[in-house]
Structure 1
Amino acid sequence: MSQKVRILLIGDDIAGREKISDTLKKLYTKGRVDVIDSFKSLREYYNLSDYDIVICDFNLSDYNGIEVLFYVRERELQLPFIFISDTVWEESTIDTLVLNGASDYVSTDNLKELEFVVRREVNRYHHFRNTKLKLQASEFRFRSLVQSINGIVREIDLETLKNIYVSPQSMNILGYPASDWLENRHFWLEQVHPKDRNGMISKVNQVIQEGGHHTLEYRMISSQGDIVWIRDLLTIREENGVPVSLDGLMIDITKEKEIVYQRDLAIEAEKRRMKEQKCLWNITNLDEQDFTIPQLLHRAMMLIPIGFQYPKFIGVKILYANEEITSINYEESEVVISSQNLKLRDDALSIEIVYLDDEPFQSGEIPFLEDEKHLLDTIIDILAVKIAKKRSSDDLKKHEQLLINTYELAQLGRMI
C-alpha cells in the first residue's frame, strides 16, 4: 500500500501494540502509526484531526473503551474507530459498541481481519473526506456565483413605505422600469405571486419589527407574465437606533429552483424504479412448482401493490380460468388500469388494479403513471410464463403416472 495513512493505536499491552503496529506499517509502508498507552496522553497531546483511523484496546488501565469512543465521536464524528480485544466478544457487547458509534471490532489474534477492516474503514473515510471537500468547494462556487449575479437593489423609506431607490436591473430581471416602483408604493406587492402575497405581507412586517438581516424567498410575475423566483436579502438600516429604511437585494433564483425541482423529480423517479424492480424481483422469484396456480396468483396479488405509487390505496383483482382472486380491500373504482394475456391455452389471464381513494390526487397528480402500466404488463407476462410452466410440469407428471399405471397393469396381466 502506498497511501500516506495516519493511524493512532491505543493500548497498554506492549507486545500486542508492537505486533499490531508492525502489521499496520507493512500494510501502509508510507503511512504513520502513532502508539500511545493511556487515555490521558490522548487528551493532552494528540489532535484527532491529524489521523485517518483510531484503533483502541477495549480495556486499559486508566479508561474504559466506551469513554474513548465518546471522546472521539464528540470531536471527529466520522473518524473510523476500531476496537481490539483479546477476549471473546459477547453479542450484547458488540451491539453496544455499534450503537455507540464504533466502526468495527476485531480480535487481537486475527491480524488478517484487522488488515481488512482497517483498509475498508480508511478507504471509506477518505471517500467521505474527499466528498466533503468537493461539496464544500461546490458550495463555495455556488455562493460566489450567487454573489456575482446582478440583483435588484432597492431602498424603502419606513416612514412613508415608498421605494426611494430601485436599480436598473429591475428591467433585466422582471421587465419593469425603476420608475414603476417609484411612482407606486404598492408596486412590489402587486407583482408578487397571488399565492405568496398574504404570506409576504406578514413576513415583511415581521422583518420591520425584528430588525437585522433576513432572507425571504417568493415568486413574482414578470411583465411577460412569467413566474420569477426571488431570493430577497433584507436589512433594516438604523440611524441613532431608529429604523429608517429597508434595504433589499432581490436575486433571480428561478434556475436554481428549476434545478432543485428537476432533482426532486429525478429522485422520485429513481424511487419508483426501485419499487417497481422490487415488485418484479419478488414475483419473478416465486417458484411456481411450490404452489398450485391459484396459490401462485394469490401470492402475486399480495406482492403487486408495492410496485405502485401509493400501495396502501391499491386494490387488486386477478381473473384466471373462471376463478377470481382479489385483495381484501378490493372494490370497484373509476380509477383503474388492467392488463390481459391471451397466450395461455384455453384460459385468459387478466389483472385489474384500482385506486380506492382519490386523496393522493387532489393536488393534480396523475393516478396511474405510464411506467406503472408497463409494470402491470410485465407482471402479467411473468405470471403467464409461470402458469404455462406449471401446467406443462403438471401435464408431464400426469403422463408419467399414466405410464407407471399402464406398466403395473401389464405386469399384473402377465401374472394372471
Structure 2
Amino acid sequence: MTHEPSSSHPLRVARARQPLSGAIRVPGDKSISHRALMFAALARGETRITGLLEGEDVLRTATAMRALGAAPVRDEAGTWRVTGPGVGRLSEPEDVLDMGNSGTAARLLSGILASHGLTSVMSGDASLRKRPMKRVMDPLAATGAVFLAREGGRLPMAIQGRADPAPLDYCLPVASAQVKSAVLLAGLNAQGETRVEEPVATRDHTENMLRHFGAEVVVEKTPTGGRIIRLKGRPDLVARDIAVPGDPSSAAFPLVAALLVSGSDVQITGVGLNPLRTGLFTTLVEMGAALEITNIRTEGGEPVGDLRARASALHGVDVPAARAPSMIDEYPILAVAAAHATGPSRFRGVEELRVKESDRLSATVALLENNGVRTTVEGDDLIVHGTGGDIPGGGQVQTHMDHRLAMSATVLGLVAAQQVEIDDTGFIDTSFPGYLALMNSIGAGFWI
C-alpha cells in the first residue's frame, strides 16, 4: 500500500524578528543517497555509507533494495551497511515497491528492474502517481523489458524485466539526469556498450558513482555543449565506502534566508559542490549575494566545501536556459530571492518545472502572486518582478505535497510584511528531516 498523509501540518510564518546566525550542517545529498543505496546493492560485498539522508524518500529506496535482495542496515553510529548480491543477481520482490513521493527513486529503479529477469510492480503516493514515467518507459523498453502502466505512463506500473537486456543507444530529447541515469543503470546488466547522449550536461552523480564502484565510463563533450556517456556493460562492481556530502538543494533554503533577512550571517558546512549542481550559487552571486565558499576538498569522488552567507541587497538577473539543469530543483527558492530583489528577474527555459512533484511553475507563480509579488510567464520563461524587499505577504500557499514549495514559502514568510499561511509542511521531512527545527536553531522563530 502507498502511504498517504493522515493529517496536514499547516504553518503560519511571521517576519523574522532577529537576524539569522550560526553554523549548521544540512542533511546528506538526496541524489547521491538514492544512488549510493542502489549501487551498493549492485556491487559485490559490503558497502559502508556515511552521511546518508534519512528522509522518507531515501528510506523508500532502502526498503526497495531490501525487497530486491540487498541488506541495508543502519548501525547505532548512523552508518549504513549494504551487502549487495551484485549486478544481475537481484531477487524478485514479494510485494509492491512503494516509492512514496520520490520520482528520482522510481525512475532510477526502473532502469534496474528493466534489466533483471524479474517481475515487479511499483507505486507511490498520490503525488507520485500523477507524475509521468513514460519518459523512462520509452527508452527502457528497447532493452526488451515490458511495461504496463496507467494512462500517460503513470504509476502503478508493472515491469517484466529481461535477464539478457539489450544495450541502449539513446539521445535524450530534453536534459534529464533521471532519464540518463535510468538508461545507464539498465546498461549495467547488458552485454556490450550502452550510449547516452544528452543535449545539455546534467548532474553526473551516476557517472561518478559508476567509476567509484569500478565501472568503465567514458564521457565526451559535444560541439553543442552536450555530452555523450559510454558505459561498458556487465562490469564487476565491487563494494566501496561512500561519504555523502550535504545536499546543495537543501542548503539553498537557509542560504537564501540568510541573504534576505537583514543582518544575518550563517555558515553551512560540508556542502556538495558538484559543478553540475551549483547553478543557484552562481546565480545568487550574479544577483549581488555576499556568498563565500571555503575549505574546498574532495570526499567520495565529489567536491565539498563550506558556505558563508550574509544579508545582501540583491538585484534582478537574467538566468540562461542552459543553466537550468544545474539548478532545476532550486527555482522556487530562487523565485523567492528574486521577489525580494530590486528589478525584474527572468528564468529562461524552465519547462521541466511542469513535471516535478507538482507543476512547480504554476505553483511557484501562485506562491508569489498570492503574496503580492507580480510574475509573468512567457512560454517556458518565468519573470519575477522584484519588490526591492517590500514583499506584502498575507496570502495562503498551496503546497500540493511539494516539499520544496513548502520550504520556499517558509523563507518568503520570514521577509514578508504580513504573515504567510502554508497549508501543509508535514512532508518536508521527505527530503529535509528536521528542517523547521534546524531553521529555528539559527533564529527563524517558526511556531512548531
TM range, normalised to the smaller chain?
A: under 0.3
TM-score, normalising length: structure 2 = 0.21
TM-score, normalising length: structure 1 = 0.23
Name the one with the larger helix percent. 1
Question: Relative contact order, CA 8 A, sep 6+: which one is greater?
Answer: 2
